């Protein structure tokens, strides 16, 4: 019986793997098809204008071919973006100003610094809110207000203020990243630090535990699942903040600067390649946090 039953789980696993990949691949394929159609449609005007100027007619085959091979298309085709991305990542020396790895590293370092600052700030504010009645009633409205101000409006001011104090480069961008990333950590940690129920707090009281012991041995470990959920949002937000911080500065380095210079010179392929690099960076960062989360919570017996 068991011998016959044995292959079933492996087989089921395989089928589940294919079953999970199939919808994803279908959607991806649909996006690429729609993208090509849109590229042909949006770039056709330029081809026809060129033809009209030269006094020639273009057939359908030529039209499609020419819309997908322009230097500065309105919408670059997927393969153009892929080639642009590949060239940016692997085709350049990583110290080159044309290298996406170089710009990606500039952005990544500011993102990680901002994420660190934001996480520490969010945790400290949450600890204050949970333990101090005055902070409980006063901090949250300000935190919410800080997030309702458009980051695009604040970023230039932060850059200018820091620059006038002679501080440029990583720190101002990290501050903008921290501005966005502290908030999810704050909200998650306030909830997390308050998860211990009345019984667990009573137990601590029956042992005459000090507030410090109650925090380190009960509240903080209980809050970790909430912290990790927040960190995933926070690190993606930090990346967005950094890129926004690179836009107004006239910065010459970073994925945001790459986006900006692309739009100055109409280099749409460069813009899209930088966009995809940023999206992939965000995905990798979230996955890394997710892996650390899973390892930590499994070890702590808190994984669901």
Q: Please report, as ranges, the residues that interact with other proteins according to CB under 8 A.
A: 199-200, 202-210, 213, 217-218, 221, 299-302
Contact 240, 255 (CB under 8 A): no
Separation between Cα atoms, residue 236 and residue 279, nearest integer Å? 9
Closer of 95 and 206 to other proteins (Cβ): 206
Closer of 59 and 301 to other proteins (Cβ): 301
CB of 216 to other proteins, least distance (A): 10
Closer of 219 and 258 to other proteins (Cβ): 219
Closer of 77 and 204 to other proteins (Cβ): 204
Contact 253, 262 (CB under 8 A): no
CA–centroid distance for 288 within its chain: 12
Separation between Cα atoms, residue 297 and residue 303, nearest integer Å? 5
Letter string b/e over residues 262-299, b meaning 16 or more CB atoms within 10 A of that residue's CB: beeeebbbbbbbbbbbbeebbeebbeebeeebeeeeee
CB of 217 to other proteins, least distance (A): 7
Nearest CA to 255 out of 150, 116, 108, 79 is that of 108
Q: Distance between terminal CA atoms of the chain?
A: 32
CB of 227 to other proteins, least distance (A): 14
Separation between Cα atoms, residue 164 and residue 160, nearest integer Å? 6
CB of 294 to other proteins, least distance (A): 15
CB of 125 to other proteins, least distance (A): 25
Closer of 283 and 300 to other proteins (Cβ): 300
CB of 36 to other proteins, least distance (A): 51
């Amino acid at each position: 019986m068991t011998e016959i039953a044995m292959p079933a789980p492996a087989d089921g696993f395989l089928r589940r793997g294919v079953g999970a990949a199939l919808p994803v691949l279908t959607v991806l394929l649909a996006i690429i098809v729609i993208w090509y159609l849109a590229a042909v449609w949006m770039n056709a005007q330029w081809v026809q204008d060129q033809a009209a100027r030269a006094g020639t007619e273009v057939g359908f085959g030529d039209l499609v071919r020419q819309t997908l091979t322009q230097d500065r298309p309105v919408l670059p085709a997927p393969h153009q973006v892929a080639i642009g991305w590949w060239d940016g990542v692997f085709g350049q020396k990583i110290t080159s100003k044309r290298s996406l790895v170089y710009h990606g590293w500039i952005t990544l370092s500011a993102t990680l610094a901002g994420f660190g600052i934001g996480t520490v700030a969010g945790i400290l504010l949450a600890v204050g809110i949970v333990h101090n009645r005055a902070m409980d009633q006063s901090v949250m409205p300000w935190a919410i207000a800080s997030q309702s101000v458009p980051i695009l409006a604040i970023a230039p001011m932060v850059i200018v203020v820091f620059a006038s104090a002679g501080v440029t480069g990583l720190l101002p961008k990290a501050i903008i990243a921290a501005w966005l990333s502290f908030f999810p950590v704050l909200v998650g940690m306030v909830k997390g630090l308050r998860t211990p129920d009345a019984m667990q707090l009573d137990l601590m009281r029956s042992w005459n535990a000090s507030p410090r012991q109650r925090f380190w041995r009960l509240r903080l470990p209980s809050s970790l699942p909430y912290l990790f959920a927040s960190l995933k949002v926070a690190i993606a937000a930090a990346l967005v903040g950094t890129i926004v911080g690179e836009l107004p500065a006239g910065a010459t380095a970073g994925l945001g600067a790459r986006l900006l210079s692309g739009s100055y010179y109409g280099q749409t392929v460069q813009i899209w390649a930088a966009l995809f690099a940023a999206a992939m960076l965000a995905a990798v960062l979230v996955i890394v946090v997710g892996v650390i989360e899973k390892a930590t919570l499994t070890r702590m017996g808190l994984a669901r």
